[in-house]
Amino acid sequence: MKQQEADVLIVGGGLAGLSAAIDLSVQGKSVLLFEPKSYPRHKVCGEYISNEVLPYLSKLGIDPFTLGAVEISNFSWTHPKGKAIQAKLPLGGFGISRFTLEQAMFQRALAVGVQPIKASAENIESITNGVQVKSSDGNNYTARAGIAAYGKRSVLDKKLAREFISKKANYVAAKWHAQGAFDPSLVALHNFEGGYCGVSRVEEGLINFCFIASYKVFKNYRDLPKFMDSVLRSNPHLKELMDETEMVFEKPLSIAQISFKDKPPVEGKWIMCGDSAGLIHPLCGNGMSMAIRSAEIACEELMDCFSELQDHAQALQNYRSRWKGEFAKRLRMGRIASGIFSSDTGSGLAMDVVRYVPGILPFFIKQTHGKVDKSLAYEV
């Protein structure tokens, strides 16, 4: 067994973990990044990112538009009864696949000195002088600070005895890429019984379809193709898109046991980032931005700790407070919206209200998004 030390251990190489790894390494810290899977890889994801994180990505040395990202400025919402509403996105965003973005970020991480550990973290612990990872490679790793960014659900959640993991997870999701005609400036949200499907362009002319559905509705079909044919196509707008585009995946990627229960943003001495800290309903289209932004906050607090402007305990407390201040309202609004979208009646009534008071829709979108830090300039 080998013992290895670093300044920071980061568990999980998704958007949050990669962002934090690059940031801390650029600032001179030794970083070990635990990620057992190889890049590039596809993930079930809406693949729309709010422009709020563009300045931070630029600071990290990542320009999504050189990778083929598609600028998105408009929003469309449709109902199974054929109703449709469009609105301007107050802040705007861009579409890019996790396949492409994470690969570029991983290469950037290697270039700035991040050390990848291609192994699973079998256990993460808080110890006297910091944190420790017991890894599937048989080694132990220790550091002064740790960031857990391992995603929505993990065996680590059980080992940490996190409350949400013992509760029933009621959602399933799937995603595929397709070729065909679709307005590149648009992100569309198509409602159906028990769920909704987001559609937007990503790089190389591809269209990303990603839906989430309640297990209560899905269990009546269980078979994914049957569910897609029977339920997704009940929305005429979505049916038209599915009929007129051609899937380029052999079959959709799918995941289950998705939970939107509250999660503490700090566990022991570990900072939780991205979906490990909290999952926003995909209808808000902002999970990727939240992951990146949570990493930015974590790095700011940890660097103040390394600079001895505060101790580690204060860094954890500040992160907890800032995370809640930044994201609690977004998560709350996401739950409210999900409750409305979970039924045809609720979404139909909401759409009628928006028709009479159109300013409500941009207002809601603003509540689920952050703001661009104007001190960090970035032009789309």
What tens digit of pLDDT does each residue of 51-91 get? 989 999 999 999 999 999 999 999 998 988 888 888 888 78
Q: What is the predicted pLDDT for the residue at 180?
A: 97
**Residues with pLDDT less than 70, the chain:** 1, 279-285, 334-348, 350-380
On whether residue 192 sits in a domain, the answer given is: no
What would the 3-class secondary structure string for 269-314 be? CEEECHHHCCCCCHHHCCHHHHHHHHHHHHHHHHHHHHCCCCCHHH
Is 380 a member of any domain? no
Residue 81's CB is within 10 A of a number of other CB atoms, namely: 13
**pLDDT of 278:** 79
pLDDT at position 370 is 55
Supply the CATH number for residue 137's domain.
Answer: 3.50.50.60
Print the domain residue range for 299: 3-168+259-367
Predicted pLDDT at 380: 40
Q: Is position 301 within any domain?
A: yes
Q: What angle do CA 51, 56, 61 make, to 5 degrees?
A: 115
**Residue 36, domain member (yes or no):** yes
Residue 320 counted as domain residue: yes
CA distances from 334 to 134, 172, 224, 240, 327 (A): 35, 17, 25, 27, 11
Residue 202 domain-assigned (yes or no): no
Q: Is 136 in a helix, a strand, or coil?
A: coil
Report if residue 203 sits inside a domain.
no
pLDDT, residue 69, reads 98
Place of tokens 């990727």: 288
pLDDT of residue 141: 97
The predicted structure's pLDDT at residue 375? 43
How many domains does the chain divide into?
1
209 assigned to some structural domain: no
User: Taking a C-beta distance cutoff of 8 angstroms, is the pair 147, 34 a contact?
Assistant: no
- C-beta pairs of 60-66 under 8 Å, 24+ apart in sequence: 60/19, 60/22, 60/23, 60/26, 60/105, 60/108, 61/22, 61/26, 61/108, 61/112, 62/22, 62/101, 62/104, 62/105, 62/108, 64/94, 64/96, 64/101, 65/94, 65/380
